Amino acid sequence: MKFSWKILNQFINLKEIEFNKFVDILTLSGFEVEQIKKEKEIKEIFIQLSITANRKEVNCLFNLAQEIKIIFNKPLTIQLYKFETYLYDYTNYVIKQSQQLKYIKFNTINNIAKNNSPDWLKQYLRSCDNISTCLIEDIQNYARIKWGHKIYIVDLLKFNTNLIEYRSISIKKGLQSSNQEILMYKNYELLKLDNNLNLNQELLKFKYQNILLCWPIYNNAINRNQINRIDTFNNAYNEILQILTTNSNCTISQSYSNSHKILDKQQNINVKLSDIQSILGPVNNNSPANKYLSYKNIIYHLRKLQLKPVYKLYNKDIYVQVPREREHDLQRSIDIIEEVGRIHGFNHFLNHLPTYQQKGKIKFKMFYKNKIHDTLRYMGFNEVLNSPLVDSGNRYSLFIDNPITQEHKVLRTNILENLIHNYQTNYKQRNHRIEIFEIGQIFYSGNRSDYNENTHLAGLIYNKHYWRKNWTDKPENFSWLHAKGLLEIFLNQINSQITWKHIFDIKLESHIKNLYFLFEQNKCIAIYNQQKQKTIGIFGQINRKYIHKLYDNHNTYIFEINIDELIKTININKHLKYRIKPYSLYPSISRDISIEISKSDEVNKIKLLLSQIHNNLIESIDILNEYSNTKSINKRSICLRITYRAINKTLTHQDINSINENIVNLLQKQKKEILT
């Protein structure tokens, strides 16, 4: 849509608004400015707007001015004339025969003497990229550009008459589409009604004297192109007739109108106040506290949009009525929220996530599940993901009544069978290092026909070239001790306290017992929670029947653990046994001293006593040697190395000598003898 700045100011006074600010706000409101052209000779600015497909009701300058009125909160300078109540004529069935029309008006124009358009009209059309041809066709374009009305014009010359008998007009359906209707006059085609704003009539000849003007108003439920609206009908009608009488010296006959009543049911939408505030976010008011739009501001914006809002205090809901011209655009609650943000200005909301004092907490189970996952990844395992749906099961399996395919008709009772299938696939592709794991759900039925779902961890370890005794030897495969040691390293890293039990010495859980067939007999061991007296998993060598087709003699080890039970074995330390101190950048100094003590004295007490002197300077005290004197049986001598270091300076010999003197004085108080 192209328009001039001066013409827009005829509808709404925008002289107080800076032009660049006007363009920026219009762009933020969803109307992209494609081009701005300034004509210095005529002191005019032309603006080319891009109207999106969902705003097709903005099809003329007046509708654009109404939208700008809402955005800038400025009143219109043009007053709309109220559309009068329809006069029903039950003797004519023009409207009753139509499914598209709710009102139609006819005017016969006779004795047209002039057909040239005035200069102001030519300039008006030129500013909107329209070429002036003749007066009648120019007023068609003028009504379309300014008011969004499509006027149908019929030359009466082809009917050889100056007057139309309106009661002879009828309507029939068109053949091209179900929505097209044809206006007939005495079995002759008068015109084709089309609710498209583009002028697709045949061009009239420049010389004419008598014409018929047809003004339809379409049913809102069918008028998807939003043309010929009721609220602007009288303004467009009166202005067009005034232009005709002023510039053509014509005679306008008495108008004829016909209508029938159609009940328009407006669409109602319910919007929650909390949804508006949470989606739009806090208002940017340079305040540390996050403040949202109040319901009073929201109601104010909705009233400007003519949505007739009603706020219900008891449930904090807002009910709105969508006008007919916006039904194609406003259909959901999110559309209403977008309109509120657009009118208030999206630049007035925070463009970053708000900061909250209270941080979210991760669930205990999820925290350790992530820790288990990360620990295995750090140890070099590769994670795999398999579908929990399999093609076969056992008596503990859960079958799906309506499976999508026969390969996915049973919920799996373990994860190991999926991993064995992954192992077979990788081995056939000559991958000789397979260390994989999966964390997923397993399903099984209990003794009382109840259904259970647990989270399990399963892993498979196969490495054909894992280790060698000497560099000259060939690499060897994983052994039992290697695989068990790798699993113990994992359990130690997550701080799990488990014990190993022989498979026949304990009672196995049903879902663990069902895994036994996957292992070699006498080559598997149970993972046991000693405190809860419960089996939580199983580890061992894979049954040879699952790998005999691979013609591989190397051992493969598998394990499966119930994660919920594994988490219960984790020893949670809530306190740290160490302190973090800054590391000194200055060099250390060491001194060796010899102390004679009795054989009953404890060395640790001596070290603790010495460390109390200048505790911030003594870094460490180590025992270098211990020797005894044969002459004094109850005595012994120890040699200590004391390392000194300061956090803020390099220690000098004077500092060290001062510390040593303090040590001597302390030992003398304790009645000890020092030898240097």
Residue pair 107/241 in contact by the 8 Å Cβ criterion: yes
The confidence score (pLDDT) of residue 672 equals: 47
Residue pair 360/371 in contact by the 8 Å Cβ criterion: no
Three-class secondary structure of residue 30 per DSSP = coil
CA 428 to centroid of chain Cα atoms: 42
Burial 50-82 (b: 16+ CB within 10 A, else e): ebeeebbbbbbbbbbbbbbebbbebeeeeeeee
Share of the chain above pLDDT 90, in %: 14
Residue pair 444/413 in contact by the 8 Å Cβ criterion: yes
Choice among 241-245, 365-369, 475-479 with the minimum mean pLDDT: 475-479
Nearest alpha-carbon partner for 605 in 667, 668, 676, 674: 667
The pLDDT tens digits for 255-304 are 888 777 655 667 889 999 989 988 888 888 766 666 888 889 999 999 98
Residue pair 43/6 in contact by the 8 Å Cβ criterion: no
Measured distance CA(542)–CA(548) in Å, rounded: 11
The pLDDT tens digits for 556-606 are 899 999 999 999 999 877 666 677 778 888 999 888 888 888 877 777 887
Residue pair 532/562 in contact by the 8 Å Cβ criterion: no
DSSP codes joined into one string, 221-252: TT-TT--S-GGGHHHHHHHHHHHHHHHH--EE
The pLDDT tens digits for 173-228 are 766 666 678 888 887 888 887 766 555 455 454 566 788 888 888 876 665 556 77
Confidence of residue 354 (pLDDT cuts 50, 70, 90): low
Residue pair 126/7 in contact by the 8 Å Cβ criterion: no
Measured distance CA(52)–CA(30) in Å, rounded: 8
Measured distance CA(552)–CA(408) in Å, rounded: 30
Nearest alpha-carbon partner for 172 in 224, 242, 94: 94
Mean pLDDT of the chain: 82
Measured distance CA(150)–CA(53) in Å, rounded: 20
Residue with the larger pLDDT of the pair 319 and 675: 319
pLDDT tops 50 at residue 91? no
The confidence score (pLDDT) of residue 385 equals: 94
The confidence score (pLDDT) of residue 89 equals: 47
- Between 135-147 and 61-72, two packed helices, what is the crossing angle to 10 degrees? 20
CA torsion, ordered 493, 498, 503, 508, to nearest 10 deg: -110
Residue pair 582/647 in contact by the 8 Å Cβ criterion: yes
- Any residues with CB less than 8 A from the CB of 617 and at least 6 apart, and which? 644, 645, 646, 651, 655, 659
Confidence of residue 377 (pLDDT cuts 50, 70, 90): very high
CATH superfamily of 101-259: Phenylalanyl-trna Synthetase, Chain B, domain 3 (3.50.40.10)
Measured distance CA(539)–CA(526) in Å, rounded: 6
- Indicate the CATH number for domain 2-72: 3.30.56.10
Alpha helix segments (H runs only) across 444-570: 480-493, 510-513, 563-568
* DSSP strands (E only) in 51-177: 101-110, 152-155, 169-173
pLDDT tops 90 at residue 254? no
Q: Domain locations in the chain?
A: 2-72, 101-259, 267-348, 364-568, 589-675
Three-class secondary structure of residue 123 per DSSP = helix
Three-class secondary structure of residue 382 per DSSP = strand
CA 348 to centroid of chain Cα atoms: 21
What's the mean pLDDT in 347-359? 73
Residue pair 174/99 in contact by the 8 Å Cβ criterion: no
Q: How many residues does the chain have?
A: 676
For 19, the enclosing helix (H) or strand (E) is helix 19-28
Three-class secondary structure of residue 147 per DSSP = helix
The confidence score (pLDDT) of residue 438 equals: 95
Q: What is the pTM of this model?
A: 0.53
The confidence score (pLDDT) of residue 675 equals: 42
Alpha helix segments (H runs only) across 250-363: 273-280, 295-304, 333-344
Alpha helix segments (H runs only) across 494-626: 510-513, 563-568, 603-611
Confidence of residue 458 (pLDDT cuts 50, 70, 90): very high
Measured distance CA(185)–CA(167) in Å, rounded: 9
Nearest alpha-carbon partner for 102 in 86, 118, 81: 86
Sheet containing 499-502: give its strands across: 382-383, 433-445, 451-463, 557-562, 534-542, 519-529, 499-502
- Between 119-127 and 135-147, two packed helices, what is the crossing angle to 10 degrees? 50
Residue pair 268/321 in contact by the 8 Å Cβ criterion: yes
pLDDT tops 90 at residue 31? no
Nearest alpha-carbon partner for 105 in 203, 158, 208, 183: 183
| Phi and psi angles of residue 407, each rounded to the nearest 5 degrees, phi first | -80, -10
Measured distance CA(306)–CA(326) in Å, rounded: 10
Fold of 589-675: Alpha-Beta Plaits (3.30.70)
The confidence score (pLDDT) of residue 565 equals: 92
- Any residues with CB less than 8 A from the CB of 271 and at least 6 apart, and which? 317, 318, 319, 320, 333, 336, 337
Residue pair 218/102 in contact by the 8 Å Cβ criterion: yes
**Which residue do the tokens 């007009």 mark?**
169
Q: Radius of gyration (Cα) for the chain, nearest Å? A: 46
Pick the CATH number of 267-348 from 3.30.70.141, 3.40.50.2300, 3.40.50.300, 3.30.56.10: 3.30.56.10
| Yes or no: domain 364-568 corresponds to CATH 3.30.930.10 | yes
Confidence of residue 460 (pLDDT cuts 50, 70, 90): very high
Q: Do domains 2-72 and 267-348 have the same CATH topology?
A: yes
